[in-house]
Amino acid sequence: MKRILLVIPASTYRTHDFMQAAGKIGAEIIVASDHRQAMAPLIPDTTVALNFRKPETLGAAMRAFVEKRGFGQPPFDAVVGVDDTSAYVAALLAQTLGIRHNAPAALRAARNKFIMRQKIAAADLNYPDFRLFSSKDNPKKLAKRADYPCVLKPIFLSGSRGVTRADDPEQFIAAFARIREILAMPDVREKAFDDEANGLLVEKYIPGVEVALEGILINREFKTLAIFDKPDPLEGPYFVETIYTTPSRLPGYVLREVTHAAHRAALALGLENGPVHAEMRINDGGAFVIEIAARSIGGLCSRMLRFDAGMTLEELILRQATGENIWEIQRERSAAGVMMIPIPRAGTLKVVRGIDAAKAIPGVGDVIITIPNGQEVLPMPFGGRYLGFIFAREMLPEDVEAVIRASFSKLEIEII
């Protein structure tokens, strides 16, 4: 039986999906997490608690666990992370244990937007002008030198959190202040390494159509799993993503350029194997990699993807990580989509009504509300969570989009 070390953060939605995938392939799973509470439902002998924010402690803690369990060498067939931070931790653990994996420096570049920009620029790919600042800097001075329109963003957060467009100095100063507030939030501070906690990237705004790409690297070769259209315009001032549909409705030659750019960007970061999720902009200048991550799509969004014989994305990732040949595995032919349900305003979630009616729309696979009633909520890009997800399948992507919008219209979200 193959043994996999699954590295998961306490806040992830995806523990269940990865554990279920491991069961399907008959693998033993050992879980490493940054919080004991996240591992409470799991078997104690198969879990280890690590401090993700102190990389220097990871090696000793992991070696002690392996010795206590009496694992052979190598102790695991694969080490897999599920988000930006845990993917980096996975690389450090794999290096410590002598297990083949992407280099930690490549995973750090995928997590840190400034390093990512530097690597992409050095590879002579399309990129916007960019500069790194500290949230402690004086925004009034910086605003005078900025080239507008521009985009301000924290260097380590995902999900468009804090990402803000500014068209003039006044908007720049306001965006800078908002990001400074976000970086001071307790849940954000917990995610930051010391050398990136105050990092703020300012880059030239890139106009154009935005798509997302899901792929996987296999010994530096690239297998595209899905390209998603984003039907709702993302022009600012915020870039909160809502609907994804696949397959893309863009022409084939555009999609080939998107894939080629994502592949080159992944190699520029030093990635060689494993999942890749990229956000891309396309305009007359070509395809621009906005961000590229060494992990699969976030939240519960992976549930819209199905492959041969009903295989999930998590199963595909684990099979590839343990050395199986996945080249011939293809995504199902039907179109699919997801809506990341936005939080409309700050407050306390009282109730979401109309869920049964939303599920009853033909073509809807499921409607999942992930925040329980009574919890405080904060809309993106200030908060870090969506209200839930709507999943749909139809024969054509435009029908998927229509189904999702019809389902969402049935929901009544009450926040007090």
267, 124 Cβ separation under 8 angstroms: no
Give residue 44's pLDDT: 56
Please identify which residue in the block is written with the tokens 């060498």: 73
3-class DSSP assignment, residue 96: helix
CATH architecture of 3-108: 3-Layer(aba) Sandwich (3.40)
Strand (E) or helix (H) holding 6:
strand 3-8
pLDDT over 80 (residue 169): yes
Residues carrying CATH 3.40.50.20, the chain: 3-108
pLDDT over 50 (residue 83): yes
334-416 CATH fold:
Aldehyde Oxidoreductase; domain 3 (3.90.1170)
The gap between the terminal CA atoms of the chain, to the nearest Å, is 51
How far is it, in rounded angstroms, from Cα 116 to Cα 106? Answer: 9
- CATH 3.30.1490.20 corresponds to the domain 129-204: yes
Residues carrying CATH 3.30.1490.20, the chain: 129-204
Give residue 414's pLDDT: 98
Residues carrying CATH 3.90.1170.30, the chain: 334-416
Per-residue confidence at 191, pLDDT binned at 50, 70, 90? confident
Give 335-373 as a 3 state SS string.
EEEEEEECCCCCEEEEEEECHHHHHCCCCEEEEEECCCC
Give residue 394's pLDDT: 97
pLDDT over 90 (residue 34): no
Per-residue confidence at 332, pLDDT binned at 50, 70, 90? very high
- CA angle, 398 then 342 then 395, to 5°: 20
Give residue 212's pLDDT: 98
Mean pLDDT of all residues in 20-25: 94
Burial tier of 116 (Cβ tally within 10 Å: 0-12, 13-18, 19+): buried
Checking 375-378 for CB contacts under 8 A at 24+ apart, the result is 375/348, 375/349, 376/346, 376/347, 376/348, 376/349, 377/343, 377/346, 377/347, 377/348, 377/349, 377/415, 378/343, 378/346
Give residue 172's pLDDT: 98
Give residue 38's pLDDT: 45
Share of the chain above pLDDT 70, in %: 97
